[in-house]
Amino acid sequence: MLFFRSEERVREWCRDQGFPVRPLVRIDQLWGLARAWYSTRLQPASRRPQPAEMRAIFAGLGLTGAFWDPQADTFDQGPTKVIDSA
Amino acid sequence: MSADFDLAVKLAVYRHFAATGARPSPGEIAGRVTADADAVLEAYRRLRAQRVLVLEADGVSIRMAPPFSGVATQHVVEAGGVSYFANCAWDALGIPAALQKPATVRSRCEQSGDPLRLDVGAEGPGPSDWLFHCVVPAAQWWDDIVFT
């Protein structure tokens, strides 16, 4: 989970590292994720979002699709490096 | 041991990180919760199973109490005169969200090395055209959370 200066830098990094390009997340969306996960973390009643809650949080920020599904069992492009056929 | 004890340990760990920016030792937490260090380590293991903490291979040292990192990283957050390390880009914004304090996030572009500075207020960071990217799908984040 990393920061990049631009989409071009993401694509260069993925190519260089042999990873597929994943969905790009804007900083305002990332702030939404950070608040959803951590705004109550120092309080006694805090807990991690459960899968259905995670889906709702992601969808509310416009992050949809199998990549963001915490229970997807059909997403077959894990972190394993891909071989560039070019 | 009760769930109340585990909660007390969890809160003591998080409050130590929030106050100091550094990971506590089991002995420090034992002093906070009035228990012995072995009981604290047993709680650590249960909290790891709940994905609350991530431990080092020694089973004693805290690697992650998300969003806080127990080890130095490229993601540095300064808030209230305290410096923190975050586990990742997401957690770099998670620290000001957790502390509910204004903060400055410093990191870098992973490809170019360009420095990033984000000033985060109560409403979040100001406008920025930087991006966040994660190679691991959500369903696999905890398969290897350190890599994620």
Q: Report the CATH number at residue B8.
A: 1.10.10
For chain B, give the mean pLDDT: 94
Share of chain B above pLDDT 90, in %: 84
Could you tell me if B86 and B114 lie in one domain?
A: yes
Could you tell me if B129 and B88 lie in one domain?
A: yes
Domain boundary among B40, B62, B84: B62
> Between residues 6 and 65 of chain A, which touch chain B (CB distance below 8 Å)?
6-7, 9-10, 12-14, 16, 19-22, 24-31, 33-35, 37-39, 41-42, 44, 48, 54, 58
Please report whether residue B144 resides in a domain.
no
Please report whether residue B48 resides in a domain.
yes
pLDDT tens for each residue of A4-48: 999 999 999 999 999 999 999 999 999 999 999 999 999 998 888
Could you tell me if B19 and B40 lie in one domain?
A: yes
Please report whether residue B148 resides in a domain.
no
With beta carbons under 8 A apart, name residues in chain A contacting B92.
3
Residue A76 pLDDT > 60, yes or no? no
> What was the ipTM of the complex prediction?
0.90
Could you tell me if B93 and B52 lie in one domain?
A: no
Beta carbons of B55 and B48 less than 8 angstroms apart? yes
Give the contacts of B3 (CB within 8 A, at least 6 positions apart). none
Q: Report the CATH number at residue B93.
A: 3.15.10.60
Pick from B93, B100, B109: CB nearest A4: B109
**B81 Cα to chain A: minimum distance (Å):** 18
Please report whether residue B17 resides in a domain.
yes
Domain boundary among B62, B90, B111: B62
> Rounded distance, CA A8 to CA A29, Å?
19
Q: Does the bond joining B67 to the residue before it have cis omega, within 30 degrees of 0?
A: yes
Domain residues for the domain of B82 are 75-139
Could you tell me if B54 and B86 lie in one domain?
A: no
Give the contacts of B34 (CB within 8 A, at least 6 positions apart). none
Could you tell me if B131 and B100 lie in one domain?
A: yes
Number of independent structural domains in chain B: 2
pTM of structure: 0.89
Could you tell me if B97 and B45 lie in one domain?
A: no
Could you tell me if B130 and B82 lie in one domain?
A: yes
| Euclidean distance between the first and the last CA atom of chain A, given in angstroms as a whole number | 26
Q: Please, which pLDDT band fits residue B4 given cuts at 50, 70 and 90?
A: very high
